[in-house]
Structures are given as C-alpha cells and as structure tokens.
C-alpha cells in the first residue's frame, strides 16, 4: 500500500517550509510528496526548489485551490491520498495513524483525525509524543457523518486532517473538487454518499488560523456552502437512503438561514430574504419552517431594529 501526500500552495513563503518539514519528519514516510504551486508571486517556488530532492513540484497558473487539488489527485500515485494545506503542520505520527486506519477500515471513504488551532507564522511545537497503543476510533455511517459534518464543521472543516482512498477519487471521475463553489465542502458531502467515514479524535494536526482568510468571511463562507448544496441537490435526490435525503433537506435549509443571517449583518437584506424564501421550500420540518418564517419576518423590520449578526469572525 502506497501513500501520497499532496499540497496545493499559493504565496506561502512564510509557512511552506514548516509544513514540508512536518511531512518529512513522519514516523512513517509517504511514498511521495507532490506539491502544486498555484502561480505564486512570492518566494514560494524558490523554497520549494530547496526540497526538490524529496518532493515532486508541479508548476501551475493561478486557478484556485480546487483546480490545484484536482490536478494533484490526477498526479498522485498512492492508494491513499493525504491532503495538507500549505500552512498546516502534522504531528510526527499522523501518517502512521492514518495508514493504520486505512488498513483497518478498507471500505471507508475518508479518514479524519482531531486537530488543534494555532495562530502566527511560526512552527507549531508539539508538547509531547502521543501515547502509544490503540486510540478509540469512530466509524460513522453516511447519515451520522453528514449530520456531524454539517453541524460541527470545526471538527471536519479542513482537508489537512483528511485522507481519502484513491479508489474514492476515481469514482468521482478524478476531479472531486468543485471549482465554482465550496471545493472541500462539496467534495466531502459528495464522497460520503458511497460509504462510511472514520474519525480518530486525537489532535494530530495543527491548523493555522490565518488573519483575513476566506474562512473568516461568513458571507463568502456560507454563500459557498449554499452553492455546494445547490450543486449536490440532484445527486442527493437520487439517493436510495431516505434518512440521508431528509438530513440533506434539513441541512440545506439550515445553511440558507445562516447565510441569510450574515447577509443581513452585511446589510444585504434583499438577498437574505431570497435565501429565506428558498429555505422555506426545502425546510422539511415544522421547527425548521418556523425558524425560517421568523427570520423572514425580521427582514421586513427597519434596519435599526434588525439583529446585528457579524458578517466576519472576530480574530482573537
């Protein structure tokens, strides 16, 4: 069994070396490290050249992270693909644990571990080696994972703590990431249709919170989620699992309501009203309809009396 580490990078000169070092320091080394530079204009490429003997670098033009990940998936030769963002850092035992999970659960469509958040441009210093011995891994069916992923995205919110079998990628025609809306959000909601997901809650990845990132902009973030669900709607309607269809409708309405909240916070009341109208059509339960109706009525209040939901996460 072979494992590929794939990294999409763009203008990451401040962090890419620390990220690559965390891969090179794994207790079980990947069979290949493939990095796609998405048209960087800083010193990223020169730093990547210093790792040329241990990595395979693919130059590219600036097309965005989704297109870069699709190209990386096509280039990867491993049976298991380990995604890593260019500013995050793996614990030395990360791949060792993921390979073990893959061997234990060969029919799973994705493997996640826990993570810790950190800020700044420097390295992340792990306090100590994690205890030896088996961890309490959790096997989730598609419905449970769907509910967890769409209600607690901090747990599963980054590809840096996710590995996916090459066979799953190939079932998605080799281009699993959607280039016109919420790439990883689309991908993971698509992938779970075909099997269970495994989760090891131990914090094996340090996730770097970047100031001014897209993920901190709630209007952009939730707008992309709504777009992803629009793209997935037909595929889920064809599912033979009624429970999954019901959860999809519930989550779709919830994402529309959240999107509308942040649109109102940004002063875009008319767009918020449109989202809430759509949520009413897809809510699927009395409680969800009540929530959407209440929020819809708020859009007709004078702006001075409307709730002030912040359109951006506050950086602390």
- Residue bearing tokens 């999409």: 8
Cβ–Cβ under 8 Å, residues 162 and 110 = yes
Name the phi and psi angles at 108, rounded to 5.
-70, 150
Number of folded domains that form the chain: 2
Tell me: do 18 and 146 sit in the same domain: yes
List of the chain residues with pLDDT < 70:
128-135, 152-153, 174, 180-182, 191-193, 211-216, 284, 311-316
pLDDT computed for residue 90 by the predictor: 97
Look at residue 56 and tell me if it is in a domain.
yes
pLDDT computed for residue 315 by the predictor: 46
Tell me: do 76 and 196 sit in the same domain: yes
Which pair of tokens denotes residue 54?
Answer: 């241990």
Look at residue 225 and tell me if it is in a domain.
yes
What CATH number does residue 118 fall under? 3.90.550.10
| 114-173: pLDDT as tens digits | 999 999 888 899 976 665 555 678 999 988 888 888 886 678 888 999 999 999 998 877
| CB proximity list for 125: less than 8 A, separation 6 or greater | none
**Distance, CA of 291 to chain centre:** 27
Tell me: do 202 and 56 sit in the same domain: yes
Name the phi and psi angles at 315, rounded to 5.
-80, 130
Look at residue 44 and tell me if it is in a domain.
yes
Tell me: do 116 and 174 sit in the same domain: yes
Tell me: do 267 and 236 sit in the same domain: yes
Tell me: do 124 and 263 sit in the same domain: no
Confidence (pTM)? 0.86
Tell me: do 223 and 179 sit in the same domain: no
Last residue of a domain, one of 143, 176, 210: 210
Look at residue 313 and tell me if it is in a domain.
no
Look at residue 148 and tell me if it is in a domain.
yes
pLDDT computed for residue 88 by the predictor: 97
pLDDT computed for residue 316 by the predictor: 40
Look at residue 26 and tell me if it is in a domain.
yes
Tell me: do 137 and 260 sit in the same domain: no
Look at residue 316 and tell me if it is in a domain.
no
The parent domain of residue 131 ranges over 3-210
pLDDT computed for residue 122 by the predictor: 84
Look at residue 311 and tell me if it is in a domain.
no
| 54-72: pLDDT as tens digits | 999 999 889 889 899 999 9
pLDDT computed for residue 166 by the predictor: 94
Longest dimension (CA), the chain: 63
Q: Torsion angle of alpha carbons 283, 288, 289, 292, nearest 10°?
A: -100
pLDDT computed for residue 220 by the predictor: 86
Tell me: do 177 and 267 sit in the same domain: no
Last residue of a domain, one of 172, 192, 210: 210
Tell me: do 142 and 269 sit in the same domain: no
Tell me: do 54 and 162 sit in the same domain: yes
Tell me: do 269 and 164 sit in the same domain: no
| CB proximity list for 158: less than 8 A, separation 6 or greater | 85, 88, 115, 184, 205, 207
Last residue of a domain, one of 176, 210, 244: 210
């Amino acid at each position: 069994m072979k494992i590929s580490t794939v990294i999409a990078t763009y203008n990451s000169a401040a962090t890419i070396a620390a990220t690559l070092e965390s891969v090179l320091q794994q207790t079980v080394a990947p069979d290949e490290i493939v990095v796609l530079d998405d048209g960087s204009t800083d010193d990223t490429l020169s730093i990547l050249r210093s790792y040329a003997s241990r990595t395979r670098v693919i130059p590219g033009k600036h097309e965005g992270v989704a297109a870069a990940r699709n190209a990386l998936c096509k280039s990867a030769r491993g049976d298991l693909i380990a995604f890593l963002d260019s500013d995050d850092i793996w614990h030395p035992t990360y791949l060792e644990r993921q390979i073990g999970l893959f061997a234990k659960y060969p029919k799973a469509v994705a493997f996640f571990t826990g993570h810790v958040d950190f800020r700044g441009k420097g390295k992340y210093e792990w306090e100590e080696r994690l205890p030896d011995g088996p961890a309490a891994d959790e096997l989730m069916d598609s419905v449970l994972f769907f509910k967890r992923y769409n209600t607690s995205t901090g747990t599963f919110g980054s590809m840096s703590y996710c590995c996916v079998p090459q066979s799953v990628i190939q079932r998605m025609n080799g281009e699993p990431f959607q280039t016109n809306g919420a790439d990883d959000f689309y991908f993971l909601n698509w992938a779970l249709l075909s099997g269970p997901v495994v989760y090891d809650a131990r914090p094996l990845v340090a996730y770097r919170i970047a100031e001014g990132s897209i993920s901190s902009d709630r209007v952009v973030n939730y707008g992309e989620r709504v777009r992803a669900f629009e793209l997935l709607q037909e595929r889920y309607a064809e599912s033979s699992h009624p429970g999954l269809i019901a959860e999809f409708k519930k989550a779709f309405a919830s994402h529309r309501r959240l999107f509308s909240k942040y649109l109102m916070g940004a002063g875009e009341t008319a767009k918020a009203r449109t989202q809430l109208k759509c949520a009413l059509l897809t809510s699927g339960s009395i409680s969800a309809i009540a929530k959407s109706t209440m929020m819809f009525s708020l859009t007709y209040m004078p702006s001075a009396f409307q709730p002030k939901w912040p359109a951006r996460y506050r950086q602390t």
